[in-house]
Amino acid sequence: MKKKIRRTVTYLLLSACFFVQLQEQVNAKNRFDYEKDGDIFWDTETDEKVIALTFDDGPHSKYTPAMLDILADYGAKATFFVLGAHAEKFPDILYRQFSEGHEIGNHTYDHTTNLNKLRQEMKETSDIIYAITGTRPKLFRPVGGDYSDTIVRIAKENQLSVVLWSWDQDTKDWSDTDYKAIADHVIQNVSPGDVVLFHDAGGNREETVKALPLILDYLTENEYEMITVSEMIEKDEKLKRNE
């Protein structure tokens, strides 16, 4: 009798789990749903020649300063989505990013994809950024570009907005891509309102460092302004208000 009861309970639990999964699939939201609700930002449609360059996984002791030097040469602003562990390790570099007018975003503490750890890692990383810069981040970029209602909800609990990148502006500089391919990808796909994904840590980023001047030369020659993601979001909100 007890075994029969246990089997029945197990069956009911499995049925409930299946029903929840089925409901999640039926109610699954796509990119356009999240954009319409204003829960996630990818890019904006505008005629104004603005672009947001973003860098994930830093700061790095070698590559980040090299990139900052290049950005400074062009008067370009960028957004750096940093790991809390790296910010703790290189606070001087993080402060330099902030003091030179770049935006600092939250990218978890140690690149976790574990949703059970995400809430704590978001908070810890925001606290670290605040301790170093005196300013709390506004933006969160999930590892791997993953997004869901859960990630959006946890970000909101931490007063963060989720940001990804333009679908055609993933430079794939994390792979074995050479600097010319990285530069060509950005240049050939560029359009006003783009958000471009680079990396300044997480591996050898020499090719990204070498690609940046080629990209910035093109953007400058074509009268693009390199702005932060928050500035891009403000422009997007203004455009939508005026529609």
Among the residues of the chain, which ranges form H helices? Answer: 2-26, 31-37, 63-74, 84-89, 91-99, 115-133, 149-157, 179-189, 206-221, 229-241
Percentage of the chain modeled with pLDDT above 90 = 82
Catalytic residue among 60, 86, 102, 199: 199
Q: Rounded distance, CA 191 to CA 169, Å? A: 10
Q: Which residue has the tokens 């931490």?
A: 158
Catalytic residue among 39, 43, 56, 194: 56
User: Whole-prediction pTM value?
Assistant: 0.87
In the residue annotation, 102 being an active-site residue is answered as no
Backbone angles phi, psi at 148, to 5 degrees: -165, 170
Nearest Cα residue to 74 out of 191, 237, 226: 226
Tens-place pLDDT, residues 157-191:
999 999 999 999 999 999 989 999 999 999 999 99
pLDDT of residue 73: 98
Please give the structure tokens belonging to residue 65.
């300063």
Amino acid 183 reads A
Tens-place pLDDT, residues 220-237:
999 999 999 999 999 999
In the residue annotation, 56 being an active-site residue is answered as yes
- Cis peptide bond upstream of 59, omega within 30: yes
Tens-place pLDDT, residues 5-17:
433 433 344 344 4
Q: Is the pLDDT of residue 124 over 90?
A: yes
